[in-house]
Amino acid sequence: MGKARRIFGWTAIGLASLIALVSSAVYGLSEARLAKTYVPATRFSHPPGDAVEGARLARVLGCTDCHGDDLTGKVMFSQEGVATLYASNLTTVVPRLSDSQFASALRDGLRPDGTGLFIMPSSRLRLLTDRETADLLAYLRTLSPRGSDRPPFSLGPLGRLGIALGKLRNEPDTLAEDALLRAAEIEGHEEGRRLAEATCAECHGADLNGSHGALKAPNLLVTAGYSASDFSILLRTGKAIGGRDLPVMSETARKRYPSLTENEVEQLHGYLLARAEAVAGN
């Protein structure tokens, strides 16, 4: 019995040591990944933008979905043992950023110190032009600071493990991984393609072929069944053909897409139809 106890004791000590060693390795690797810095790809230079147009873009791009209706930030994700992540208070953060730092946060997913942001959808916002970036910045600079800064995100052991294994990626790493994954090019529909990637890819995937995660958003080939009128109604009211409400899409459309111009709706519909026709012809 004494020998068995000794064996059990040494086994327990060995397991505890192994767990401590693995935990230390995961912590160290996750910290290294979090501290990694990147060189901004965005080279932003533009005269002051139009704040009114910037406010429209903020609605179309869904800035309030993440940063709250008043853009003072909110909890974006919280799961015990994984992480708690906050969207920042844009009314207090933006005044501290230079124009180029703002553009880099938006389009490269980088903080001013060069480390990577999480959740920020730079994979689609990278498609914004300098003019659009300047307009959005002009609008945000009109907002008076209110509230306080949101706390930095906190990580649990599972979150650190996900970062160490590369399962939880920051935005610059996501951009590097997905750089070649884009919607199909259709001659004559370049602007429609850019609009689709900037406004639809968040849910429907970078190539618009649909997502298979929790959203289960369909391949946007489904728009082949929408006339110009049906498509406009969907974007303006959230009502699909037959007056149906769709999961996620209906609420998103009602909040964001009434702010699209008629020309933008036409460009978007034209591209999605041409994309469907190109697939059908292959």
| DSSP secondary structure of 136-199 | HHHHHTTSPP-S-PPPPPEE-HHHHHHHHTTSS--HHHHHHHHTT--PPP-TT-HHHHHHHHHH
Residues 172, 197, single domain; the answer is no
How far is the C-alpha of 7 from the C-alpha of 10, rounded, in Å? 5
Does 162 share its domain with 69? Answer: yes
CATH at 209: 1.10.760.10
Across the chain, which distance is largest between two alpha carbons, in Å?
84
Mean per-residue pLDDT over the chain, rounded: 88
Banded model confidence at residue 22, pLDDT cuts 50, 70, 90: low
Report the distance separating Cα 53 and Cα 209, nearest Å: 30
Q: Are 245 and 202 in contact (CB under 8 A)?
A: no
**Judgement on whether residues 113 and 199 belong to the same structural domain of the protein:** no
Q: pTM score, two decimals?
A: 0.85
Question: Do 228 and 154 share a domain, yes or no?
Answer: no
**Domain stop point among 125, 155, 178:** 178
The model's confidence at residue 14, banded by pLDDT at 50, 70 and 90, is: low
Of 143, 178, 213, the one marking the end of a domain is 178
**Which distant-in-sequence residues (6+ apart) come within 8 Å of 167 by Cβ?**
none
Residues 198 and 161 both lie in one domain: no
Residues 144-165 have pLDDT tens digits of 999 999 998 888 888 888 888 8
Q: Does 40 map to a domain?
A: no
Q: Does residue 37 form part of some domain? A: no
pLDDT single digits (tens) 32-60: 888 999 999 888 988 889 999 999 999 99
Band (pLDDT 50/70/90 cuts) for residue 211 is: confident
Answer yes or no: do 233 and 276 share one domain. Answer: yes
Residue 172 lies in a domain: yes
Beta-strand relationship, 74-79 and 83-87: antiparallel
Question: Do the domain assignments include residue 4?
Answer: no
Residue 197 and residue 138 share a domain: no
Percentage of residues in the chain with pLDDT exceeding 70? Answer: 90
Judgement on whether residues 196 and 156 belong to the same structural domain of the protein:
no
149 within some domain? yes
Q: Kindly state whether residue 86 falls inside one of the protein's structural domains.
A: yes
The dihedrals phi and psi of 106, each to the nearest 5 degrees, come to -70, -50
Helix (H) or strand (E) run with residue 245 in it: strand 244-245
Render the burial of 260-269: b for 16+ CB within 10 Å, e for the rest: beeebbebbb
In terms of domains, do 85 and 170 share one? yes
3-class SS of residue 50: coil
Residues 6+ apart with CB under 8 A from 272: 192, 196, 208, 220, 223, 224, 231
Q: Tell me whether residue 25 is in a domain.
A: no
8 A C-beta contact, residue 135 and residue 63 = no
163 and 228 in a common domain: no
Residue-number span of the structural domain to which 165 is assigned: 51-178
Q: Which residues contact 129 (CB under 8 A, 6 or more apart)?
A: none
Of 113, 148, 178, the domain-final residue: 178
Q: What domain count does the chain have?
A: 2
Please check the confidence at residue 118 and state whether its pLDDT lies above 80: yes
Query: What is the number of residues in the chain?
Result: 282
Residues forming a β-bridge with 79:
83
The reported pLDDT for the residue numbered 21 is 54
